[in-house]
C-alpha cells in the first residue's frame, strides 16, 4: 500500500517535471501578443505577453513573410540567423514554437551557442553542414554528424552546439524551436565579449590561458560581437 503510494507520487513528479520542461501549454486557442503594452485596456495577462482581444485578431497576426530572403553572411563567422520568434510574429505567443533561417557562406559557421529555453530541430535546405552538440559536465560527450540537403538533426535544450558549412557552396538551414523565444547564448561572445568585461583573472584560470591571450580575446569580442 505504502509502496504503491510512493510510486504514484514518483510518477506524478516525473509527469510534472516533463510537463514543465518546455514552454507552458496555451490556456486558450491562441493568445496573440499586444505590440504595445500601454494598449492594455482590452488585454489579459497570460504567460509571457499580454494577449490581444480575440475580436481584434486578424490573419496577419499569424503571418510572417520574408524567410525566402537570405541573411547577409559577410561577417567574421560567415553566417547569419534570421529569427522568427514571438517578437516578430505576435501570434506565436503561448504556443511554444518558433523558427529561424540560417545562412552560411562557404566554410561559414554558426559558432558554439546554446538556447536556454528551447530544443532545436534543424533541417538542411541547401548545402552540407557539419553539426554537433556536447552533453553536460558529467561526460561532456560530443555528438556530431555531417548533414546534406534534406537531413535533420536535433539539438537538445540548453546544450552547446554548432553548425559549420563544410561545402564549397553556400548553405541554408531551417530550424524550429520548442519555445516562442528560445533565446541564444553564443559562448565566445558571452564569455569574452560581455559588457562590462569579465575580470581577466577569472577567465585566465577558467580557460587555463595566459592573461595576454585572454585580453587579446576580450579585445576581439568587445566592440563587434561578429
Ligand atoms: C544578417 O542579415 C541582415 C539582413 O541582410 C543584416 O541586416 C544583418 O546585419 C546581418 N547580421 C549579421 C550579424 O551579419
Q: Which helix (H) or strand (E) holds 16?
A: helix 2-19
Burial (Cβ within 10 Å: 0-12, 13-18, ≥19) of residue 174: middle
- Each residue's pLDDT tens digit, 32-84: 887 776 666 666 666 668 889 999 999 999 999 999 999 999 999 999 999 99
Which residue of 80, 110, 172 sits with most ligand 1 atoms within 8 Å of its CB, as the best mutation to test the pocket?
80
70 alpha carbon – ligand 1 mean position (Å): 9
User: Is 42:56 a contact under the CB 8 Å cutoff?
Assistant: yes
Report the nearest atom of ligand 1 relative to the CA of 225: 13
- State the cell numbers at 129: 553542414
17 or 41, which is more confident? 41
Report the nearest atom of ligand 1 relative to the CA of 80: 1
Pocket of ligand 1 (CB under 6 A): 71-72, 75, 80, 226
Buried b (16+ CB within 10 A) or exposed e, 158-172: bbbbbbbbbbeebbb
Q: Tell me if 140 is assigned to a ligand binding site.
A: no
Mean of all residue pLDDT scores within the chain:
88
Mean pLDDT of 168-193: 96
- Tell me the fold of 71-184: Jelly Rolls (2.60.120)
Nearest CA to ligand 1 atom 12: 80
Query: What's the confidence (pLDDT) of residue 4?
Result: 63
Which segments of the chain belong to CATH 2.60.120.10? Answer: 71-184
Q: Tell me if 222 is assigned to a ligand binding site.
A: no
pTM: 0.83
- Each residue's pLDDT tens digit, 142-179: 999 999 999 999 999 999 999 999 999 999 999 999 99
- 3-state SS, one letter per residue, for 32-77: CECCCCCCCCCCEECCCCEECCHHHCCHHHHCCCCCCCCCCCCCCC
- State the cell numbers at 33: 501578443
78 alpha carbon – ligand 1 mean position (Å): 11
Angstrom distance (rounded) from CA 168 to CA 184: 27
Percent of the chain surpassing pLDDT 70: 81
Query: What's the confidence (pLDDT) of residue 226?
Result: 47
Angstrom distance (rounded) from CA 205 to CA 201: 6
Amino acid at each position: 500500500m505504502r509502496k504503491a503510494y510512493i510510486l504514484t507520487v514518483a510518477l506524478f513528479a516525473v509527469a510534472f517535471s516533463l510537463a514543465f520542461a518546455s514552454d507552458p501549454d496555451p490556456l486558450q486557442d491562441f493568445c496573440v501578443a499586444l505590440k504595445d503594452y500601454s494598449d492594455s485596456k482590452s488585454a489579459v495577462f497570460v504567460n509571457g505577453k499580454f494577449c490581444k482581444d480575440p475580436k481584434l485578431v486578424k490573419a496577419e497576426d499569424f503571418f510572417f513573410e520574408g524567410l525566402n530572403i537570405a541573411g547577409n553572411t559577410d561577417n567574421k563567422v560567415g553566417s547569419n540567423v534570421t529569427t522568427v520568434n514571438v517578437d516578430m510574429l505576435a501570434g506565436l505567443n503561448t504556443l511554444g514554437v518558433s523558427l529561424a533561417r540560417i545562412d552560411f557562406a562557404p566554410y561559414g559557421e554558426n559558432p558554439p551557442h546554446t538556447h536556454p529555453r528551447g530544443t532545436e530541430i534543424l533541417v538542411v535546405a541547401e548545402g552540407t553542414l557539419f553539426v554537433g552538440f556536447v552533453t553536460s559536465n558529467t561526460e561532456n560527450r560530443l555528438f556530431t554528424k555531417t548533414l546534406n540537403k534534406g537531413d535533420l538533426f536535433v539539438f537538445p535544450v540548453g546544450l552547446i552546439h554548432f553548425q559549420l558549412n563544410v561545402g564549397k557552396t553556400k548553405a541554408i538551414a531551417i530550424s524550429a524551436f520548442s519555445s516562442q523565444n528560445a533565446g541564444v547564448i553564443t559562448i565566445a561572445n558571452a564569455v569574452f565579449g560581455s559588457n562590462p568585461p569579465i575580470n581577466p583573472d577569472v577567465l585566465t584560470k577558467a580557460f587555463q590561458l595566459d592573461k595576454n591571450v585572454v585580453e587579446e580575446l576580450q579585445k576581439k569580442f568587445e566592440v563587434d560581437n561578429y
